[in-house]
Amino acid sequence: MFIMLIKGLLKQIKKSRFRRVKRVRMAVMAQKRARLSVFRSNKHIAAQIIDDISKKTVAAVSDRGIIGNKQERAKAVGLALAQEAKKKKVTQVAFDRAWYKFHGRVRALAEGAKEGGLQF
């Protein structure tokens, strides 16, 4: 019985996470801009700029090879992504945080991207 309860809770967590992603992504796609999508794992963070109209990835950066703590690496990823976007002539993006809360490393990445010249 305990195992069934755990399975039910995990199923509900996945459903609520999917609903949150869908809600955030629909609001972002309504802006008709390139989308800055974030992926955060326990150790690393990565971001990419996606053009949803042509369904192409414009730029992508990961924190692999960057030295520092997690916050510093996230900010460096934001700065590097902004530089890559400038090369491709992308200045305005919509920030897609998926199911992650806007604090910590996700916020540091956004601040780095803003400092690099991207406009949200």
Confidence (pTM): 0.80
Cα separation, 7 vs 10, whole angstroms:
5
CB 112 within 8 A of CB 76: yes
Each residue's pLDDT tens digit, 55-94: 899 999 999 989 999 999 999 999 999 999 999 999 999 8
Each residue's pLDDT tens digit, 12-56: 888 888 888 887 877 777 778 888 999 999 999 999 999 888 889
Q: Which of 31, 32, 103, 48 is nearest to 70 (CA)?
A: 103
For domain 2-116, which architecture applies?
Answer: 2-Layer Sandwich (3.30)
